[in-house]
Amino acid sequence: MKVGTRNFKRQVKAGIEKITALQQWVDDGILVMNQEERKVSVHYLVWHLWNNRGLIKLCNALYFHMNELLVIDGLPEEKEEFLTIYVDYGDKDNEYGKLGVVKMLLFHPKKGFEQV
């Protein structure tokens, strides 16, 4: 099967933009990645911004980005391990009535979500 060069270039460009955007969120403190424990902390406004389909895409992107960071740091990439996702609600009252860091779920792209 021949893949169109234009389509391939467009997909590569979109992939690079997603990686750059995730890294910018890490730099801005919106995402906190902990490679050793395979944990991600997400700011609550980003987490509640998405619908179900968007959350699945976000979790897939976080899983992919975590694997990238593991390779960069020279840590073993565990294909079967789940990614633990936390939501950081901060220390001030918010519209969701939660405070602090709340463990939300475990995610694996092939096995799906697990509630905690």
CA separation, residue 13 to residues 2, 46, 66, 87 (Å) = 19, 23, 20, 29
pLDDT of residue 2: 56
Answer whether 0.85 is exceeded by the pTM: no
- Residues with Cβ < 8 Å from 50, sequence gap 6 or more? 57, 58
pLDDT of residue 10: 79
pLDDT of residue 4: 67
Distance between CA 42 and CA 85 in Å, rounded? 7
pLDDT of residue 1: 45
Q: pLDDT tens per residue, the chain (116 residues)?
A: 455 677 777 777 776 777 788 888 888 888 999 988 999 999 999 899 888 888 888 899 899 889 888 888 888 877 789 999 999 999 999 899 999 999 999 999 999 999 88
